[in-house]
Homo-oligomer: A and B are copies of this chain.
């Protein structure tokens, strides 16, 4: 095959024979305990951090180099031995993966995981239940419903009678468990769309006919310009069109301007559009801010439209007695998205959408003969996905083993750590704080104090010119830091009120890993300053200096 010479391929001598005995063996008897795969399992169990540190190499290989290792599309006729395959994977895949749980990697929304998530994940894999129906999940079905009920209770705080009536009711659902926040947001807006006209019309006859009949020009969704990109996917998928996700300006704290939202909604109505849903954000992806949810709730009540809250990131702030008031109004939402693989510290692949009204999900309900029969308890009746794993167990475990108080501590510490880091930046001579933390997300950039002072005094053209130069330095610092592999922040670019709305590149920091200590934060800045001392950066700084004088 092509690229063969460049590629690290498993040796041909190492092929296993395909016969009944070998086939039976891989489906039943584990290899001897001395073998690599068993050893790895043991290593992970006893010391996951050690395993990751040992096997993930720090220095980054270039993508084309890594791609060369995964470039043949040939499927081997004769299989490889498990041992040979495992060696390959350790050397070429694990070594070149990302240490998402490292305390100095504060640019992702992934963090270290509680150790008990690993053995419980293994139980999920071993049991291999399929949540689509009771016949293939049995006790996992009520367990998942309980988890959805617990989250519903966290948000909506209904009384015992409410949960007694709806939690296990076959025809009702307090929410849907899904693969992630994107599917959760899509599900919420799907429900909103199907309910926004004569119940059932859109679902049955389609959008075009229903809108023609109602004489509507378009269905629109309004959200702050800080809304997650999954909302664009949702309006595309649902047939509304991306143009009909209307983004609204935000204030200096990245909170949506509800007055502007109201004016826009009214103008759109006059033009013949119907407001399908308002979306409030509880923890924007890029800045961690929370919209004024109570005000948006009031507006959606006036407009008689759906109110969805995207709390994928910030939802678990409800555990904090100190900070939960930031989310005031979330209990008025018709639907709320929360990602468990974010601040519930569950591995990747666990999102949830909760609905205030246990009948909401009936608007997407579906039945079949061999499965998800009417009147059954099958979860697949009211979900976007079909077959799904029993990931809800991991949320169930977190809620019981970490508990309210544990999650509260995690949330509080993250926010306080972000405030601390913001203060460090503010007091530092070489950095500029751009995103003040409301939750545990903040943003800053490399910009020595003298440049910051210059930016305050100079003319608008120079401000833009200098900011473009700073963008270049900051982009290069972030890339170099990532490639070095010791610490990591992400980078993004948004419009900043401080600089007349100009879009600036900044370092995005997420402080959710409980293992991140102050020393890690210091290290992040030290590494960045290292790269700022490089030739190219210094040249640009000299240019800026000339402009500033």
Stretch at the interface among A109-117, A293-301, A527-535, A541-549: A109-117
B236 touches A237 (CB 8 A): no
B364 touches A100 (CB 8 A): no
CB interface residues, A 112-138, toward B, < 8 Å: 112-123, 125-130, 134-138
Given contacts A37-B120, A63-B141, 14 further A-B contacts (CB under 8 A): A23-B406, A27-B115, A29-B115, A52-B127, A67-B145, A67-B168, A79-B402, A100-B130, A101-B128, A121-B121, A128-B347, A135-B488, A182-B384, A206-B219
A79's nearest neighbour on chain B, judged by CB, is B403
Q: Which of B94, B145, B205, B239 is the one whose CB lies under 8 Å from A127?
A: B94
Q: How many copies make up the complex?
A: 2
Fill in one digit per residue for A481-494: 1 if any B CB lies within 8 Å of its CB, else 0: 01000001011111
Fill in one digit per residue for A255-275: 1 if any B CB lies within 8 Å of its CB, else 0: 000000000000000000000
Residues of B with C-beta under 8 A to A370: 285-286, 490-493, 508
Report the 10 A-B pairs with minimum CB-CB distance, sorted nearest first: A239-B239, A206-B241, A370-B492, A79-B403, A96-B139, A207-B239, A182-B386, A348-B389, A70-B146, A73-B149
Q: Is the C-beta of A211 less than 8 angstroms from some C-beta in chain B?
A: yes
Q: Is the C-beta of A358 less than 8 angstroms from some C-beta in chain B?
A: no
Q: What are 14 inter-chain pairs, A to B, with CB distance below 8 A? A: A28-B112, A52-B126, A71-B142, A73-B167, A94-B127, A110-B136, A121-B122, A180-B385, A203-B241, A204-B243, A206-B240, A208-B217, A208-B218, A349-B388
B241 touches A238 (CB 8 A): no
Stretch at the interface among A38-46, A416-424, A448-456: A38-46
Residues of B with C-beta under 8 A to A232: 366
Residues of B with C-beta under 8 A to A29: 115
Residues of B with C-beta under 8 A to A33: 46
Cα–Cα, bound, A378→B26 (Å): 34
Cα–Cα, bound, A308→B498 (Å): 51
Residues of B with C-beta under 8 A to A46: 30, 33
Residues of B with C-beta under 8 A to A216: 208
Cα–Cα, bound, A109→B43 (Å): 33
Q: Is the C-beta of A190 less than 8 angstroms from some C-beta in chain B?
A: yes
Q: In the complex where A77-B405, A146-B73 touch, is A125 in contact with B121 (Cβ < 8 A)?
A: yes
Q: Is the C-beta of A140 less than 8 angstroms from some C-beta in chain B?
A: yes
A75 touches B401 (CB 8 A): no
B150 touches A236 (CB 8 A): no
Q: Is the C-beta of A143 less than 8 angstroms from some C-beta in chain B?
A: yes
Residues of B with C-beta under 8 A to A178: 179
CB interface residues, A 460-508, toward B, < 8 Å: 482, 488, 490-494, 508
Fill in one digit per residue for A66-93: 1 if any B CB lies within 8 Å of its CB, else 0: 1101111111111111100100010011
Cα–Cα, bound, A79→B400 (Å): 6
B387 touches A70 (CB 8 A): no
Residues of B with C-beta under 8 A to A388: 179-180, 348-349
Q: Is the C-beta of A181 less than 8 angstroms from some C-beta in chain B?
A: yes
B24 touches A79 (CB 8 A): no
Residues of B with C-beta under 8 A to A209: 218, 241
A170's nearest neighbour on chain B, judged by CB, is B63
Residues of B with C-beta under 8 A to A492: 369-371
Residues of B with C-beta under 8 A to A181: 386-387
Residue of A1, A70, A72, A179 with most chain B CB atoms under a 10 A cut-off: A70
Q: Is the C-beta of A537 less than 8 angstroms from some C-beta in chain B?
A: no
B348 touches A93 (CB 8 A): no
Q: Is the C-beta of A434 less than 8 angstroms from some C-beta in chain B?
A: no
B384 touches A66 (CB 8 A): no
A402's nearest neighbour on chain B, judged by CB, is B79
Fill in one digit per residue for A10-40: 1 if any B CB lies within 8 Å of its CB, else 0: 1000001010100110111111010001101
Q: In the complex where A385-B182, A388-B349 touch, is A27 in contact with B75 (Cβ < 8 A)?
A: no
Q: In the complex where A73-B146, A409-B23 touch, is A44 in contact with B241 (Cβ < 8 A)?
A: no
